[in-house]
């Protein structure tokens, strides 16, 4: 196995992709990249990483920025708790660590959002600690390489793989080893049709030698994720539209949204949006028309989102959370969930096509 590790490192040295976070040894930049790379593809992360560091080039500048500005730069990358935690962690670095990102794993691990993956990735790549990273790519490579027959979705398996890799991670190049395992999983030992003929681990890979590549890794089938019907209202009045901010914690916390919610069993979506506006923000609305229907999948559920343009028919909103009435041109200044962006094009078109309705002041 150790011989294969050396081959893996040589392969990585010769073929690794030229990625912006591989051109730096700045721990803050590497930290930002690893936070973004969790749950997100490399191709997507590159542009976000560059924009983020242009806007917040140091941990101090990130700490000093309002959360809203951080979420705006993060907008579209998803998993917004990552951005909120990174922002809070940056503030803790400034207030509790004199502006220096801790370089001891057990201290770094205590910052918000720093779990096993981030800690191992940042400490191995930026500082040189021999801590193995265990993500989905690494689990797949390891299971095929060693013939591991356990369910890789089980927490116990992940911990066991971490312990096994801790015994083989080279002390002189731990960061390269971790990056090489992840790179191999992304480019060569892919879920379908792995390219064993160019793989540096092929010589002692269990799955390749025993022709079991299609059977490994073992993963228990997950139950299908539920899809919820949701209805939201774009309330229009006097050339402006109503938006509100989600509570800071929880799913999509801190982002902006339109009022609405889940459609109840047996309820018409149009009736649901009127009820939701009454219950959620105390506003009586009437529906002008359905604007769009979009679908969006999150990690554990999906939504079928129906969007209605509405006007106030009686009482104005009295919401308990931050809110405002904005012009259409101001929409770009607020971070919204990705599902909302799917109907913004239709909304802008409707706005342009209905000047009289937009300007009405009921």
Name the residue nearer to ligand SF4 (CB basis): 198 or 332.
198
Shortest distance, position 221 Cβ to ligand SF4, whole Å: 21
Q: Which is nearer to ligand SF4, 7 or 296 (CB)?
A: 7
Q: Is 34 a catalytic residue?
A: yes
The residues, any chain, with a CB within 8 Å of residue 184's CB and separated by 6 or more, are 8, 11, 12, 137, 141, 199, 200, 201
C-beta of 153: minimal distance to ligand SF4 in Å? 19
Q: Which is nearer to ligand SF4, 126 or 201 (CB)?
A: 201
Write out the two tokens for 312. 């106030």
Q: Based on CB atoms, which residue is closest to ligand SF4, 147 or 322?
A: 147
User: Which residues lie below 8 Å from residue 251, measured CB to CB, with a gap of 6+?
Assistant: 298
User: Which residues contribute to the site for ligand SF4 (CB under 6 A)?
Assistant: 141, 144-145, 188-189, 194, 196, 199, 201-202, 205, 207-208, 213
What is the dihedral sign for C-alpha 128, 133, 137, 143?
Answer: positive
Q: How far is the CB of 196 from ligand SF4 (least distance, A)?
A: 3
Place of tokens 């649901």: 272
Q: What whole-number distance in Å separates Cα of residue 115 and Cα of residue 118?
A: 6
**Of the listed 34, 179, 183, 257, which one is catalytic?**
34
Tokens 């229009």 correspond to 236
| CA separation for the pair 244, 252 (Å, rounded) | 13
- Least Å distance, CB 141 to ligand SF4, is 5
Q: CA–CA separation, 274 vs 232, rounded Å?
A: 9
Q: Which two tokens stand for residue 135?
A: 């993500």
Give the catalytic positions in this structure: 34
């Amino acid at each position: 196995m150790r011989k294969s590790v050396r081959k893996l490192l040589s392969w990585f040295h010769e073929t690794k992709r030229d990625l912006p976070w591989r051109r730096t040894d700045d721990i803050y930049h590497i930290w930002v990249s690893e936070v973004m790379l969790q749950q997100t593809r490399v191709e997507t992360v590159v542009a976000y990483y560059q924009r983020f560091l242009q806007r917040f080039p140091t941990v101090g500048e990130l700490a000093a920025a309002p959360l809203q500005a951080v979420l705006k730069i993060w907008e579209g990358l998803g998993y917004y708790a990552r951005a909120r935690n990174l922002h809070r962690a940056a503030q803790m670095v400034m207030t509790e660590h004199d502006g220096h990102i801790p370089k001891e794993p057990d201290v770094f691990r205590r910052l918000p959002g720093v779990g096993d993956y981030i800690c191992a990735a940042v400490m191995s790549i930026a500082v040189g600690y021999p801590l193995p990273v265990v993500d989905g790519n690494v689990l797949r490579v390891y299971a095929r390489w060693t013939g591991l027959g356990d369910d890789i979705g089980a927490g116990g398996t992940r911990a066991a793989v971490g312990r096994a890799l801790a015994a083989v991670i080279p002390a002189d190049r731990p960061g390269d080893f971790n990056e090489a395992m992840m790179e191999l999983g992304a480019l060569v030992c892919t879920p379908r049709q792995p390219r064993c003929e160019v793989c540096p681990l092929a010589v002692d890979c269990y799955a390749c030698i025993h022709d079991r590549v299609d059977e490994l890794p073992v993963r228990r089938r997950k139950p299908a994720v539920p899809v919820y019907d949701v209805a939201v209202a774009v309330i229009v009045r006097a050339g402006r539209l109503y938006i509100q901010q989600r509570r800071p914690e929880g799913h999509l916390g801190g982002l902006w949204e339109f009022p609405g919610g889940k459609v109840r069993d047996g309820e018409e979506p149009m009736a649901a949006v009127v009820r939701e506006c009454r219950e959620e923000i105390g506003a009586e609305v009437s529906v002008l028309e359905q604007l769009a229907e979009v679908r969006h999948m999150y990690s554990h559920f999906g939504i079928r989102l129906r969007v209605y343009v509405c006007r106030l028919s009686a009482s104005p909103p009295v919401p308990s959370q931050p809110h405002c009435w904005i012009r259409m041109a101001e929409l770009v200044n607020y971070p919204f969930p990705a599902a909302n962006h799917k109907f913004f094009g239709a909304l802008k078109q409707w706005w342009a096509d209905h000047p009289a309705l937009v300007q009405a002041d009921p």
